[in-house]
Amino acid sequence: MVGYGAHGAGDARGSQGSWGGAEAVPAVPPPPQAPPMPRWAPAAGPSLDEWLRTPRPEAGPGVWRYGHRPKPPEDPERLDDRQLLGGAALALLCGLLVWSLCFHDYIPTNWLVNWLTPDSWVPYPNRGVPGNPDAIAALAYFFYFLVAVLLAYVFGRLGHWGEVWRRYVRPRLTGPDGGPGRPAPAVPEGGPADPVLWPHLRAAGEHAAADRLTAEIHAGRMNDVDYVRIDRAWQSARTRPDRLPVFVEAVLGRGAAAFTHPSGARDLPVRAARHDLLTGQVRLGAAPDEDRNPYAYRGVSLALEPALLSTSLLVVGPSAAGKTSRVVRPVVESLALQALAGRAAVVAVGAAGAGLGPDDAYDVVIRLGHPDSAHDLDLYGGTDDPDEAAAVLAEALVGDAPGGAGLQGSEADTRRAATALAQLIGPYRTAHGRFPSVPELRELLDGVPVALAALRQACEAVGDGAALRELDARERQSGRPGDPGPLLADRIALLDRPAFAGFFDTSGTTRPFAMRDLEHPLRVRIDLPERGHAEASHLLARLLLAQFTTCARTRDERSLFACLVLDDAAHTLTPASVRAIQRLRTANAGVVLALRGLDEVPEPLRAAAVGAVGCRVVLSGVSTWDGEVFAQAWGREWVKTEDVTHNPDFSGGLLRRGVRGVRTLFTGVRATTKSVTVRTVQRERWSASDLAHKVPPGHAVVSLTTVRGEASPPILARLGE
């Protein structure tokens, strides 16, 4: 298989240079023709200057910050909708009734008007005193006006009309989403903090560069990816004063096309979700305004971002529940956009046709088992250390094998397998300067005499005594009870098939993709074979997960967020990988795991797998067995409950009891008294039964945690909004 060339590994550099690292602002080549502006999708959206000036106030974990309106503190005496509207309607009817009675003098009020009327206004025809009837009429109308105002005030207070206005009328006049909180003030146009004017460049004295970029915004030649990419390049350049001239020269020469991603792309060919690159968020859905949700999250939109994905994400839901289309695809799309801006690297793994985005949305597309694949995969992850390569490969080959003593036995088997592999691939690298290919490794694990003899002769030729001792140890252990060699040979045979004949090349003539290339903002999609190669797909998924968790923690460029997305993580998790996922938080990296059910994870690992990730999404349709694990992970909370008891009513005199007896005789229902007991008890936030039966289609229960430890309670969300 051929290497992946200019869009692939670390030696590939774009025309404008930087892969987005914090330490690299490239030299500026002669400016080539700027790439065409991307196609926007969805088409409807704000202009770039409006998008930049929109407020993004701080909010809780997972809250969509773009245009968010903070909610006022919760009122513990808040009336529910029915009680509020019913009380307001009753108060209105009572107020109208009292007003009608006053106006028609059923409630006598004329005496007060007469008492307030001056004697000089009263007409006395018999005495020839005309009086002032117009003034008396005006006084009467003014009096009734005061009565109407008083009644409106009194019954308005009784009926909570002000709350009706704040809850239902004012939000429709001021805009949707957010209730009666006031929106955060937008950045004023032309002010000193206007992001359209690039104030941080002007503060550093680079007015010419700021003017050029502002002109690009006003002319419509810059998009959100361009803005974030150039801003990242500026943040990198400002730390090294000697790089400022290079930055300014690039901006003046290329404008919005400066520091373009090595692929030349400035946007994705299509966007299926809503993104906010300034905060790095992708909109996941909306939390309905209902009592089941915490007050702070009712009616707000939910989003995912690297600060959350660094704690890793587990998505569980049956087929057709929307795992890929509503959760995985938006996350992959968001990370691909951030890669174009130089802030992330993403590897998306799924079956062919899984819907993870078109080919031209990626820099590298590897179709394992497909003869037309233009790119290859490094079986050893790009490492030169035989022990590291053996440990990762053993995790993929036998990490899921059941051990004789539970998880500890499985881990012991993995360590023995790693030792056996190191005893073969170490000497092979010493003798040939490379690791063995899949057929060669299978022959060595099978103990083929010709292959072992040839390897021994090659090691003797280079005169490496340590390699010969490794081979001697392997020959002594082979054939003993519990030797992992036969199992390893059977597992590696899954990749020694005609469909994979051109893959996993180790000859050195090509450069296959390796996880160590995630030092750069790459967009990689790996299509796993499924038809006829299900076991090989599971093995490769475990291999990719093991390689990623190993390489992500040893990266030099940790300013880039690195993420591995497994659209189907069935039979992928092992005890070692679960522990490794937890350690990714400090490496600015995370994984996204999608499962149809927790039965695709070994039973002893299910609780550990749910506890290892900080973000969990449970879609509708899960089983009660899966729901039980999540219910335990989310824990309990204190709630107030009401216990209602009905007891026979024996109160009253003889007549009252006789009437109750006659009613019981005819209706068959005994009269009872009701007593209510209010208690504070601990209750599961979401029970297993609720998760299995009370999550509507298209919804999910979501809990999110940031790398700083801020966590949200489980939230019922309507996905895709």
Same domain, residue pair 592 and 610 = yes
Q: What mean pLDDT do residues 291-299 have?
A: 90
Same domain, residue pair 456 and 520 = no
Same domain, residue pair 641 and 606 = no
Quote the CA–CA distance of 291 and 472 in Å, as a whole number. Answer: 69
- Residue 164 located in a structural domain: yes
Quote the CA–CA distance of 213 and 153 in Å, as a whole number. Answer: 57
Rg (alpha carbons) of the chain, rounded to whole number: 36
The pLDDT tens digits for 321-346 are 999 999 999 999 999 999 999 999 99
Lowest mean pLDDT among 63-72, 101-110, 111-120, 296-305: 111-120
Same domain, residue pair 446 and 549 = no
Q: Is the pLDDT of residue 42 over 50?
A: no
Q: Is the pLDDT of residue 29 over 50?
A: no
Q: Is 525 left (phi over 0), alpha (psi -120 to 50) or beta?
A: beta
Q: What mean pLDDT do residues 110-122 have?
A: 59
pLDDT at 640: 78
Quote the CA–CA distance of 569 and 671 in Å, as a whole number. Answer: 60
Q: Is the pLDDT of residue 568 over 70?
A: yes
pLDDT at 671: 77
Q: Is the pLDDT of residue 20 over 60?
A: no
Quote the CA–CA distance of 252 and 649 in Å, as a whole number. Answer: 90
**Could you tell me how far CA 376 lies from the centroid of its own chain?**
30
Q: Is the pLDDT of residue 720 over 50?
A: yes
Lowest mean pLDDT among 159-173, 211-225, 704-718: 159-173
pLDDT at 119: 56
Beta bridge partners of 673: 647
Last residue of a domain, one of 612, 630, 648: 630
Q: What mean pLDDT do residues 381-393 have?
A: 93
- Residue 110 located in a structural domain: yes
Q: Is the pLDDT of residue 38 over 60?
A: no
Last residue of a domain, one of 591, 612, 630: 630
- DSSP H helical segments within 463-508, as ranges? 465-477, 485-492
Q: What mean pLDDT do residues 272-282 have?
A: 95
368 neighbors 540 (Cβ within 8 angstroms): yes
Per-residue tokens: 272? 């299926």
Q: Which residues of 323-337 are buried (b: 16+ CB within 10 A; e: fewer)?
A: bbebbbbbbbbbbbb
- Residues comprising the chain, all counted: 721
Q: What mean pLDDT do residues 279-306 have?
A: 94
Q: Which residues of 444-477 are buried (b: 16+ CB within 10 A; e: fewer)?
A: bbbbeeebbeebbebbeeeebeebbebbeebeeb
Same domain, residue pair 85 and 169 = yes
Lowest mean pLDDT among 13-17, 55-59, 163-167, 404-408: 13-17
Q: Give the CATH number for residue 601.
A: 3.40.50.300
- Residue 86 located in a structural domain: yes
- Residue 505 located in a structural domain: no
Nearest residue to 604 via CA among 415, 313, 410, 413:
410
pLDDT at 131: 55
Lowest mean pLDDT among 62-66, 140-144, 256-260, 465-469: 140-144
Last residue of a domain, one of 130, 155, 174: 174
Per-residue tokens: 94? 């009572």
Q: Is the pLDDT of residue 112 over 70?
A: no
569 neighbors 313 (Cβ within 8 angstroms): no
Check residues 337 and 147 and name the one with the higher pLDDT: 337
- Residue 148 located in a structural domain: yes
Check residues 661 and 371 and name the one with the higher pLDDT: 371
The pLDDT tens digits for 70-93 are 887 877 777 777 888 888 888 888
**Could you tell me how far CA 642 lies from the centroid of its own chain?**
37
43 neighbors 366 (Cβ within 8 angstroms): no
Q: Is the pLDDT of residue 475 over 60?
A: yes
Beta bridge partners of 352: none
- pLDDT bin (cut points 50, 70, 90) of residue 110 is low
Nearest residue to 592 via CA among 607, 579, 581:
581
Same domain, residue pair 390 and 480 = yes
- pLDDT bin (cut points 50, 70, 90) of residue 261 is very high
Per-residue tokens: 1? 């298989």
Residue the block writes with tokens 């520091």: 259
Same domain, residue pair 486 and 527 = no
Q: What mean pLDDT do residues 377-398 have?
A: 94
What are the strands, taking DSSP E only, across 628-694? 636-648, 672-684
Lowest mean pLDDT among 178-182, 455-459, 529-533, 614-618: 178-182
The residue range of the domain holding 703 is 636-719
Quote the CA–CA distance of 306 and 294 in Å, as a whole number. Answer: 24
pLDDT at 338: 97
Same domain, residue pair 370 and 397 = no
Q: What mean pLDDT do residues 650-668 have?
A: 76
Quote the CA–CA distance of 543 and 539 in Å, as a whole number. Answer: 6
Beta bridge partners of 653: none
pLDDT at 124: 53
Check residues 67 and 174 and name the one with the higher pLDDT: 67
pLDDT at 403: 58
Check residues 390 and 409 and name the one with the higher pLDDT: 390
- Residue 368 located in a structural domain: yes
The pLDDT tens digits for 340-354 are 999 999 999 999 888
Residues 6+ apart with CB under 8 A from 619: 315, 316, 317, 318, 321, 322, 323, 327, 695, 699, 700, 719
Kindly report the number of other CB atoms within 10 A of residue 77's CB atom: 4
The pLDDT tens digits for 682-698 are 888 999 999 999 999 99
Q: Is the pLDDT of residue 111 over 70?
A: no
- Residue 315 located in a structural domain: yes
Q: Is the pLDDT of residue 12 over 60?
A: no
543 neighbors 396 (Cβ within 8 angstroms): yes
Side-chain-side CA neighbours of residue 679 (13 Å) = 6
- Angle (nearest 5°) at CA 388 between 383 and 393: 95
3-state SS, 240-258, equals: CHHHHHHHHHHHHHHHHHC
- Residue 259 located in a structural domain: no
Check residues 310 and 88 and name the one with the higher pLDDT: 310
Same domain, residue pair 101 and 170 = yes
Q: Is the pLDDT of residue 152 over 70?
A: yes
Quote the CA–CA distance of 698 and 327 in Å, as a whole number. Answer: 11
Helix (H, G, I), strand (E, B) or coil at 302: strand
Q: Is the pLDDT of residue 282 over 90?
A: yes
**Whole-number average pLDDT of the chain:** 85
pTM of this prediction? 0.82
Quote the CA–CA distance of 471 and 274 in Å, as a whole number. Answer: 57
Domains: count for the chain: 4
DSSP of 277-301: TTTTEEEEEE--SSTTS-GGGTT-E
Same domain, residue pair 549 and 645 = no
Per-residue tokens: 179? 């209730």
3-state SS, 420-450, equals: HHHHHHHHHHHHHCCCCCHHHHHHHHHCCHH
Same domain, residue pair 393 and 425 = yes
Nearest residue to 166 via CA among 273, 93, 75, 54:
75
Q: What mean pLDDT do residues 88-113 have?
A: 78
Same domain, residue pair 475 and 576 = no
Q: Is the pLDDT of residue 32 over 60?
A: no
